[in-house]
Amino acid sequence: MSVVERLQSNWLDELPRGQLNWKDETRTVLGLEIIVSGYEAPEHVDRGGFLPGIFGLVVSPRETVETYVEDHADGTIDIPQYYSDFPEGDSMRVNLYERGGDAVRAAPLESAIRELNGSGRYRKSEFTLYDCLGGDAKPCPIVRENVGCILLAPMLGPE
C-alpha cells in the first residue's frame, strides 16, 4: 500500500487535495509519520518567503495524533473565521499567534486550512489548531475532524 493510500485509509480518501505540493517521501516527527511539503508555494499564497518543509500532511492514524496532542499541546489557538480575515500582503512573515518567542504564521495556517478544506468556504468549528509553542516548541497540528491533520512547523524565536 502506498503512502497516499495509507493516508487516505486513515483519514479522508480525497487527501491530498492538491492545494500544496508534497514530496514523494515520508518522515517521522515525534511519532507522527508525515508527507513533507515541497518547494513550491501554493497558488493562492502570492507572498514572498515561502518556506519548504513547513507543512507535514499526517499519514498516521487519528489515535496517534490524539497521543501527540496529549503529550505536547497546551490548549488551542483561535483561527480566523473566514479566509478574508487572514492578513493581506506578505503574511508569510505575519505572526498570527505567538507564545514564548515562537509563532504560527498566517500564510502557512491559511494554506493548511485550504488543503484540508478543498475549495470554497470553511467552517471554523470543524478545525482545531493545537498550541505546541513556548519553551521547547514543537510542530502545531491543525486537525479537521474526520478529514485530516497537518503539522505546521513553528517559527522559532531567536534563542
55-75: pLDDT as tens digits: 899 999 999 999 999 999 999
Asked if residues 53 and 35 have their Cβ atoms less than 8 Å apart, the reply is: no
The answer to whether residue 157 sits within a structural domain is: no
Does a cis peptide bond (omega within 30 degrees of 0) precede residue 16? yes
State which H helix or E strand residue 115 sits in: helix 106-117
Q: Is residue 159 part of a domain?
A: no
Instruction: Indicate the pTM of the whole model.
Output: 0.90
**Is residue 43 in some structural domain?**
yes
Q: Provide the Cα torsion 41, 46, 47, 51; round to 10°.
A: 0
Q: Which DSSP helix (H) or strand (E) runs through 26?
A: strand 22-29
Has residue 102 been placed in a domain? yes
What is the number of structural domains in the chain?
A: 1
37 within a domain of the structure (yes/no): yes
Range scoring the smallest mean pLDDT among 98-102, 112-116, 133-137, 155-159: 155-159
Q: Residue 93's CB: how many other CB atoms inside 10 A?
A: 14
pLDDT digits (tens, 9 = 90+) for 101-124: 888 988 889 889 989 998 789 999
Give the containing element (helix H, strand E) for 149: strand 148-152
| 60 falls within a domain | yes
Determine the structural domain holding residue 134 and report its residue range: 3-152
| 90 falls within a domain | yes
